[in-house]
Structure 1
Amino acid sequence: MNPDTSWRRYQQAFTSLSGDISGAFGDLGTLLPFVISAISLGVLAPTPVFFGFAAGYLLVAVVYRLPIAVQPMKALGAIILTGGLTSLETAWAGTIIGAVLLTMSFTPHLVRLARALPQSVVTGLQAGLGLMLGVLAVDMMGAGWLIALLALALLALSWIWPRGPWALLVVGGALLSDSTATLPLAAGSSPESLALSMPAVAEGLMAQLPLTLLNAVVVATAVAHSLFPDSARRVSERRLAATSGLLNLALVPFGAMPMCHGAGGIAAHYRFGARSLIAPLTVAAACVLAALQGPTVIAWLAAIPTPVIGALLANAAIELMLGKRLFDARPDCRPVIAATALGTLFGGALVGLAMGLVSDRLRLHVKHRRAARAPQDGGDS
């Protein structure tokens, strides 16, 4: 064998491996804030939470063989962090959502719903969710702009060498820093963890289920198809609903955090080099190690400065906002994308969806009016 050819193969293998390992940790900006806070507040325990994410990424590696993200459900996570859900209520909400998703995955209605959405609306939802992540990232980076800018500068090298170990270097360097701008921890566990209020569960369901169907099923499928076109057949709306439903139905009753396949997480893994099943296997292994460490892992995770997590989240937001379909869109579709994105940013996914559908209907109306007027104009001239 030609030595040059052999060297190039080793170099490609190393680049691929380092990219997958780096990309495996690219979604920490979404994972860490919710997980650390929910555990530190005493609502959830670290061992079942990390075992849950380990199982989720193992399932992803087996089913998709791609770096499909497994994230905390953001709406439920936000309600947990504001004291709106106890551990028992979280288990009920996550289990019910899991049952709904798994049931929907067996019917064709989910696919019909997804295909009925105009592409410009889906693109706008994706951009709007990216803007939402960006706002959160700026807020987190505001805790220490110097370290945040240093992290962003290192992460920016991913635009030059996309599969370099930048996310891993940033996290490792952050753990060695003496920054005190870290996520706050609450001491002790809540004595009300076993309380159950069905209205609180219903509130969590109403907040989370539409977001999951849009972001973690419809938009996540679109993002995966855009980033991994050669493997698009492995990812579908019904499959993502099925794996999300199965994870929540099987694991949340035993203390795992409600999980879904977020579009932003897929973008984050990809941005930092993840391309194959090595990335989800790496995350699964890291989560198993964290679960085995029990409560002591919280101190290690909390040592990562908040601005660094914000920098990771900012890169995921940029990847989500600047999708390929945004630049390929026709000029008359761009106002629809903008309206959907702004509606999502200021009102959430449901408001964004409504604004997108209304603006797309208006676009079609204007287009048909112009088409009907064109022959008349031609005859008069």
Structure 2
Amino acid sequence: MSSFSPWRPRRQALAALSGDVSGAFGDLGTLLPYVIAATALGVLSPRPVFVGLAIGYLLVALLYRAPIAVQPMKALGAMILVGGLTAGETALAGTTLGLVLLALAATPYLGRAARALPQSVTVGLQAGLGLMLMALAFEMMAAGWWLALPAVAALGLSWRWPRGPWALVVVIVAIWLAPADMLPEAGHSTPAGEGISLSSVAGGLLAQLPLTLLNAVVVATAVSRSLFPAAAPRISERRLAASSGLLNLVLTPLGAMPMCHGAGGMAAHYRFGARSLIAPLTMAIACAAAALHGDTVIGWLAAIPTPVVGALLAFAGVELMLGKRLFDARPDCRPVIAVTAVATLFGSALVGLAAGLASEQLRRHLVRRRARGTPHDRG
């Protein structure tokens, strides 16, 4: 008797759809803090911010047909949060970065430089960025462990049933049950300011460009090819740089946040079940709907307690840190990975890159020395 069940394909299709919808919202841990803060502070308006994210995810769905993340740029986002950039300065910085990324994507040197980067250093950068996300996540969860731990437990079901709607369920329940004393203060917007300081814009560019090239181009390409191998022929350093550049060049002058394709976001989408273009299409639709009701949606998102956002961010960090290539690495490469990761955690991606390249050179020197053998070995 055949064991074939006519319901099995349908159940598998429903599980895949459930995973893609849940995974679409898996990156809220890195997206929410920047979007809520920039709009609540009055620097950017909710509608163009959500329109920009909607167009970004629609472009990703059409161009890559995979759950490639669209995230606010971290360094520029942080400067907005601390009052270091006005709306005009944000637009100028985003437009300039867009032009730089498109220029780099137009040359073959970006891809060549990425391919020349040792895999041990790339894996170390990936692990270090994961550790940075974990450190931020623990800081956010410490604001209320009694909320964070149930969220972690629910999200942990993704390890057993990876295509379940765990991230979506946690977000909905968090909004529904959010206690009043955990809600961020609202209604205290500050004026964005009219002037443009070129020194502020230059400082933002110098802080953001290396992070974008490493995390959102080089490491993001490696992570996406590992997580979504079927989409690998459509993903390259030059294409990720080009799509990021196009989004920023066109949309930031209209009020969108500067955006890129962060490696951590891809890991978060994957961790909570995203596998196909359904996930970016879902986010595009959700962001378009949010754009129609910007202030109301910001209020809903602001109701998600910080510890719950931290729990989402923690799982993104774990997924990024514990990539497959980390476990496949040769034993002699693991010290290089560790040095790179620690330097990234306590310094920056640029510091991690420098430390990783130096330690990789030392590793190769020691390997060559062992291969030649010492006089005592040959005697």
Scaled to the shorter chain, the TM-score interval is over 0.9
Alignment of 1:82-97 (within 5 A): 82-97=82-97
- In structure 1, the partner of 2:230 is 230
8 Å CA contact 1:181–1:305 kept in 2: the answer is: no
User: How far does residue 191 in structure 1 lie from its aligned partner after superposition?
Assistant: 3.1
CA 1:186 to 1:199, structure 2 compared with 1: closer, same or farther past 3 Å?
Answer: farther
Query: In the aligned structure 1, how far is the partner of 2:341 from the partner of 2:257?
Result: 28
The answer to whether structure 1 residue 101 and structure 2 residue 73 are counterparts is: no
- Structure 1 residue identity aligned to 2:360: D
Q: Kindly report which structure 2 residues correspond to 1:67-216, keeping only aligned pairs within 5 A, or say none.
A: 67-180=67-180, 182=182, 184-185=184-185, 187-216=187-216
Give 1:128's aligned amino acid. G
Query: Deviation of residue 182 (structure 1)?
Result: 4.0
Q: CA deviation at 1:192?
A: 4.4
**Correspondence 1:379 to 2:378:** yes
The residue aligned with 2:267 is: 267
User: Given that residues 210 and 350 in structure 2 are in contact (C-alpha distance below 8 angstroms), is that contact kept between their aligned partners in structure 1?
Assistant: yes
Contact 1:23 1:167 in 2 (8 A): yes
What secondary structure does 2:7 align onto? helix
Task: Tell me the secondary structure at the aligned position of residue 319 of structure 1.
Answer: helix
Return 176-185 or 289-298, whichever deviates more.
176-185
Three-state SS of the structure 2 residue aligned to 1:233 is: helix
> Which string of whole-angstrom CA distances, capped at 9 and with x for unpartnered residues, describes residues 35-74 of structure 1?
0001001110000000000000000000000000000000
After superposition, the C-alpha distances for 1:111-166 in whole angstroms (9 at most, x for unaligned) are 01101110000000000000000011001111110110000001111010101000
Q: Distance in 1 between matches of 2:286 and 2:182?
A: 21
Q: Residue 253 of structure 1 corresponds to which residue in structure 2?
A: 253
Say if 2:363 is the partner of 1:360: no
Partner AA of 1:66 in structure 2: A
1:327 and 1:194 map into 2 onto residues whose CA distance is: 51
Q: Partner letter of residue 378 of structure 2? A: G
The 2-side partners of 1:67 and 1:193 are apart by 36
Consecutive unaligned residues of structure 1, counting only runs of 5 or more, are none
- Structure 2 residue 330 is the aligned partner of structure 1 residue 325: no
Structure 1 CA distance for aligned equivalents of residues 27 and 260 of structure 2: 13
Partner SS for 1:85: coil
Q: What is the alpha-carbon distance in structure 2 between the residues aligned to residue 55 and residue 311 of structure 1?
A: 27
The Cα of 1:180 is off from its aligned counterpart by 3.7
1:345 has 2:352 as partner: no
Give the distance between the partners of 2:192 and 2:243, measured in 1 at CA. Answer: 31
1: CA distance, partners of 2:276 / 2:139:
32
TM-superposed CA distance for 1:312, in Å, is 0.4
Return the alpha-carbon distance in structure 2 between the equivalents of residues 333 and 168 of structure 1: 38
CA distance in 2, matches of 1:183, 1:250: 34
Deviations 1:197-235 (A, max 9, x none): 000000000000000000000000000111112321111
SS of residue in 2 equivalent to 1:6: coil
Q: In structure 2, how many angstroms separate the alpha carbons of the residues matched to 1:193 and 1:247? A: 24
Shift of 1:181: 5.6
Give the alignment's TM-score, normalised by structure 2: 0.97
Q: How far apart are the structure 2 equivalents of 1:238 and 1:170?
A: 36
CA RMSD of aligned residues (A): 1.4
1:282 aligns with 2:282: yes
CA shift for structure 1 position 294: 2.4
Q: Which moved more, 1:99-108 or 1:187-196?
A: 187-196
Taking the aligned partners of 2:178 and 2:222, their CA distance within structure 1 comes to 40
Residues 20 and 278, structure 2, Cα contact 8 Å, conserved in 1: yes
SS at match of 2:179: coil
User: 1:293 corresponds to which residue?
Assistant: 293
Kept after mapping to 1: 8 A contact 2:43/2:191: no
Distance 1:338 1:206 in 2: 26
| Residues 41, 185 of structure 1: 8 Å contact kept | no
3-state DSSP of counterpart to 2:6 = helix
Which structure 2 residues correspond to residues 297-312 of structure 1 after superposition, within 5 A? 297-312=297-312
- Residue type of the alignment partner of 2:93: A
* Structure 2 unaligned regions, length at least 5: none
Match of 1:315 in 2: 315
1:283 and 1:81 map into 2 onto residues whose CA distance is 24
Q: How far apart are 1:368 and its partner, in Å?
A: 1.4
Taking the aligned partners of 2:12 and 2:195, their CA distance within structure 1 comes to 54
Q: CA deviation at 1:369?
A: 1.6
Query: Structure 1 CA distance, aligned partners of 2:186 and 2:371?
Result: 62
How far apart are 1:184 and its partner, in Å? 2.6
- The 1-side partners of 2:25 and 2:333 are apart by 35
Instruction: Give the conservation status (yes or no) of the 8 Å contact 1:143–1:181.
Output: no
Letter in 1 for 2:285: A
Taking every aligned residue pair, what percent have the same amino acid on both sides?
68
